[in-house]
Amino acid sequence: MSLKPEDILPDDINSTEINGIKVRKGTIGAALANAKILSSKTSTEIEKSNAKEIIKELAPAMIALELHQHVIWKNLEIQKIIEENLKNGSNL
């Protein structure tokens, strides 16, 4: 069965819990936006540092969504963050 975004989270619901992890709408979008900041040549070191911290915060939710089973990040820093979370037990 195929799914649309509203099949996962209706318009009036902003988050759900998956395996004990709160996952908000926009989690994947935020991860992609921060990945873009990390790879941008025009981003400052502070912007990159903040983006990396946010990706660390989002990693458990991305794992709960099983994104790691379908995506290998080109950015090795992000891939390492995901792998470290998997090793530390976030692979519910």
Which pLDDT value is given to residue 59?
97
pLDDT 10s digit of each residue in the chain, 92 long? 999 989 989 999 999 999 999 999 999 999 999 999 999 999 999 999 999 999 999 999 999 999 999 999 999 999 999 999 999 875 44
Which pLDDT value is given to residue 89?
78
Give the amino acid at 91: N
pTM reported for the whole predicted model: 0.89
Determine contact, residues 63/92, Cβ cutoff 8 Å: yes
Which pLDDT value is given to residue 34?
98
d(CA 16, CA 32): 20
Q: How far does CA 84 lie from the centroid of its chain? A: 14
